Amino acid sequence: DSGVTQTPKHLITATGQRVTLRCSPRSGDLSVYWYQQSLDQGLQFLIQYYNGEERAKGNILERFSAQQFPDLHSELNLSSLELGDSALYFCASSSIAGGTDTQYFGPGTRLTVL
Amino acid sequence: AQSVAQPEDQVNVAEGNPLTVKCTYSVSGNPYLFWYVQYPNRGLQFLLKYITGDNLVKGSYGFEAEFNKSQTSFHLKKPSALVSDSALYFCAVRASNSGNTPLVFGKGTRLSVIA
């Protein structure tokens, strides 16, 4: 157990809908990362927050947004969902924002868009 | 730009034999290198990392990795494979002078250990 929690574990929804994925980092970690894992694209970095501020942005669609709250948990919002958004979404946390720091991953949320 | 290549999509090895999962990287400057393992329906688990110092890094579950600067490689090794090592393995890199940039992951190598 990495100490990173994600809810829900599974999510099934329809095209056009909006969902929110939640992540709680390890105790003491200030940095949160979101990744999308699909069969054809591998592990894609979406976005990073550090202590409430956006720190880095990757291949995140405009339909997706995220935030990190004062208690350091983070939410990833996916809207106008398409079939191609079906994937595993992982959250990771680390104590600082980069450098030698190790990222610890949560168990993921499996999103299925029908 | 930083990049990682895992040249093999799939590696098959017999139980008890040594295993190697290959990784090469490209960064400007010195790299920080990481290996993660993903078991079915699970998140990625950290195995080991190279920051500086000894080129041979020992990690969890008997795995080790060798940093080779001249070949820009960081291959993952284990002397004797177990069936339970069957999983998806990811190599990742960050340049030491890249500030707060996130890790860049390879596409993963699926290891299958056959009894």
Asked if residues A103 and A30 have their Cβ atoms less than 8 Å apart, the reply is: no
- How far B11 CA sits from the closest chain A CA (Å)? 17
> Mean pLDDT throughout A95-99?
74
Hey, are the CB atoms on A48 and B102 less than 8 Å from each other? yes
Which residues of chain B lie closer than 8 angstroms to A50, CB-CB? 100
H or E segment and range at residue A77: strand A74-78
Closest to B94 (Cα-Cα) out of B2, B6, B24, B23: B2
Contact B103 A103 (CB under 8 A): yes
Region of B110 on the Ramachandran plot (φ > 0 left; ψ -120 to 50 alpha; else beta): beta
Q: What percent of chain A has pLDDT over 90?
A: 84
Q: How many CB pairs under 8 A join A and B?
A: 60
- For residue B48, give how far its alpha carbon lies from the nearest alpha carbon of chain A (Å): 9
Low-confidence ranges of chain B (pLDDT < 70): 99-100
pLDDT band at A95 (very low <50, low <70, confident <90, very high): confident
* Long-range contacts of the stretch B56-59 (C-beta < 8 A, 24+): B59/B35
